[in-house]
Amino acid sequence: MKKIQMLIGGRWVGGEGDEWLPVHDPSDGTQIAEIINGTDAHVDEAVRAAEAAFESEEWRAWKPHERGNLLIELARHIRENAEHFAELECRDVGKPLTQARADAEAAARYFEFYGGAADKAMGDTIPIEDGLLNATVLEPAGVTAHIVPWNYPLQIIARSVGAAIATGNSVVVKSAEDTPMTAHALTEWFANSGLPAGIFNHVTGLGSGAGAALSAHPNINHVTFTGSVPTGIAVMQAAAKNVVPVTLELGGKSPNIVFADADEEKALDGVVRAIIQNAGQTCSAGSRLLVEERYKEEFLGKLKERFDALEVGRGMDDKDIGPILNKRQFDGIMRRIDEAKKQGKLIAGGEEVKVDGADGGHYIAPTIIDGLDHSCDVAQEEIFGPVLSVFTFRTPQEAIDLANSTDYGLVAGVWTKDIDVAHTLAARIKAGQVFINNYGAGGGIQMPFGGYKKSGIGREKGFIALRNYVQVKNIAVKFGV
């Protein structure tokens, strides 16, 4: 069992005087690690260490391409140890090993992408008048906080920390108390990387403790948070008291919209993958199916066959669907399913699955619910499990209205061969990403990712995310004789 210490100012912190919290493998409930329950004092120490490192002459001397080379070296390290990172993520989160391997490669791509971008984040010259040279300069924000969720820790650390370090910031990462393993593996690499002490810091503990203290700290210059809407609101309120900007990637209730002329096989594959990824514990999960009314029975019948054939099992056994994170999450999902059974029609799943040799794990059969009123809570609120609710439409306008009828707007998928229909929906759906004849969820390192409405504020990924971590300074030089 691994005892995970925190990295603060280049030192490993944590000992007998600290409170330690258990970390469990969701597949069978066994304890696999312990973390320190970080306190306000730990967070303050980490932020001040990051601030001192950011202001140091040593860090100022690092050239942009040198920061980039370090991130590219980290990408190489992840690829060389891909199976190790994948197994850690699998045991930590519970997701199937194949999905964890994809996460490891995505993390490498993030560090590689932002490593390559480090010396390409440039300002502009702006024509004003003769004798005036006006230029904008991009300067690092300072100390950036990264509050990481439990469902994709390896990927999400990589996508925000990569962009922050590429632009010259120092960072404090707060990993999720349930899934700290890959965060710690990255921390070990940073500790031995030659990066100035304090540029990368990792604190652990409860979100209500260390996470809240980090988002409220007056010496933080930017907060990046991925998680639930209520916690996102709390983070935003805490940061607002210090007039600190935030990037929030929150919940989703994303639709897959299937027209009768869609390529059936591709649509079926896309709809299934969009809801079973990480057992549906994904903010961008395609948790609503909107299907053209005249095509519904045919498509739904074939979709049920696909669902019934899916295998549920432990992450390391690499089945189609892994476990739910813990009993609290499991109980919440099952309550929603029970509620849906009373209000609609169960088409597939809807029950707990017992997995041999995994008595301490919590598993749910992939579930399809039809016949719900679209205004009911199950249809409107994020369930965060392998639960798909089905609705029908007759016209493109009805599909648009249904797609936009929740408080969320993260992702949408449109399945049709009619290019006019596809582009009309893409233009009018209120979502940060719209996929036509595919469903990439958060995938695509270069693709800006973020939401409308309660799905969040700002965009991560791609070049646009670099702007989260810089200040724009305008410099005007008057010259002439």
Domain ranges of the chain: 2-250+457-474, 255-444
**CB atoms near residue 332 (< 10 Å):** 14
What is the spatial distance between Cα 72 and Cα 281, in angstroms, rounded to a whole number?
30
What is the spatial distance between Cα 432 and Cα 331, in angstroms, rounded to a whole number?
30
Give backbone dihedrals phi and psi of 469, rounded to 5 degrees, phi first. Answer: -115, 20
pLDDT at position 169, please?
98
Q: Of 441, 470, 422, whose CA–CA distance to 274 is shortest?
A: 441
pLDDT at position 15, please?
85
Sign (positive or negative) of CA dihedral 102, 105, 111, 116: negative
pLDDT at position 193, please?
97
Print burial letters for 103-128: b (CB count within 10 Å at least 16), e (below 16): bbbbbbbbbbbbbbbbeebeeeeeee
Burial class, 448, CB count within 10 angstroms (exposed 0-12 / middle 13-18 / buried 19+): middle
Task: Record the tokens describing residue 39, joined without a space.
Answer: 């306190």
pLDDT at position 16, please?
80
Fold held by 255-444: Aldehyde Dehydrogenase; Chain A, domain 2 (3.40.309)
What superfamily in CATH does domain 2-250+457-474 come from?
Aldehyde Dehydrogenase; Chain A, domain 1 (3.40.605.10)
Residues 71, 73, 74, 78, Cα dihedral to 10°: 140
pLDDT in tens, 7-34: 999 999 998 889 999 999 999 999 999 9
**Residue among 249, 292, 382, 460 flagged as catalytic:** 249
Print burial letters for 194-212: b (CB count within 10 Å at least 16), e (below 16): ebbbbbbbbbbbbbebbbb
* Cα-trace Rg, the chain: 23
Please report the DSSP string for 366-390 in residue order.
-EEEES--TTSHHHHS---SSEEEE
Which pTM value belongs to this model?
Answer: 0.96
pLDDT at position 344, please?
96
Angle formed at CA 112 by CA 111 and CA 114, multiple of 5 degrees: 65
Residue ranges for the chain with pLDDT beneath 50: none
H-helix or E-strand containing 246? Answer: strand 246-249
Q: Of 177, 225, 181, 226, whose CA–CA distance to 204 is shortest?
A: 177
Task: Record the tokens describing residue 285, joined without a space.
Answer: 């999960």
**Alpha-helical segments (H) within 251-351:** 264-276, 296-309, 327-343
Whether 298 is catalytic is no
